[in-house]
Amino acid sequence: MSYMRSAMEQYDMIEDGDRVAVGLSGGKDSVAMLAALAKLRSFYPKKFELVALTIDMCFDNERGDYSQLQQLCDSLDVKYVVKPTELYKIIFEVRQESNPCSLCARMRRGAIHDLAKSEGCNRLALGHHMDDVAETFMMNLLNGGHIGCFSPVTYLSRKDLYLIRPMIFARESDCARVVRRNGLPVVKSQCPADGTTERQEMKLLLTSFEKKYGSIRNKILGAMQRGNISGF
């Protein structure tokens, strides 16, 4: 919560009266973020509401089981909405994408943006942490030849929606530890591409760099802040 509160205050992520949608995939990162935001809600100086949202890809054309996430949301006093989609069918059966991740990410983003607006939310919290910051920076550098990343706060003018990333100062290991110590439920991804993505390769590359150069992810984040890159 201290990492999140620091990011929220440094980048003005929350304002009084905000209704914040939380993108809840069911993975450890989004679950940890939801639990922390729910606790912060009780004492954070700026008062805000929470709604948890899940985009169900309907893998193998079947609805996913999110009952454990529903129980978590009930215990946190957070409204929970699951939106079933045909994304699996479109991406893996109709289009038969050989590299599905980019198209899938775009379609999921569109779906959760629309769902957030339909729930009356003006902000959408995404569970990207410091590891994601460093990986995205390196992927843009090595693949696209440009220096940049997603931003801590992004305004979507067409949707009139702010995307916020309150976990950018936390490590992936912090999320895993929070979930483990608090016994929080995690829904394993059913995606056929899970664990074989380019992001996973970048994670391994950065880990190998860390053996020689130390806290490489912290260094990348610090360099982005000092260079004012992508709003950092």
Number of domains in the chain: 1
pLDDT mean over 80-109: 85
pLDDT at 199: 86
For 210, the domain range is 2-231
Task: Kindly report, residue by residue over 48-71, the tens digit of the pLDDT.
Answer: 999 999 999 888 888 989 999 999
The token pair at 9 is 């205050």
pLDDT at 196: 58
**Mapped to the 3 state alphabet, what secondary structure does 149-181 carry?**
CCCCEEEECCCCEEEECCCCCCCHHHHHHHHHH
CATH classification of the domain holding 35: 3.40.50.620
pLDDT at 194: 66
Answer yes or no: are the C-beta atoms of 29 and 57 closer than 8 Å: no
Percent of the chain with pLDDT over 70: 98
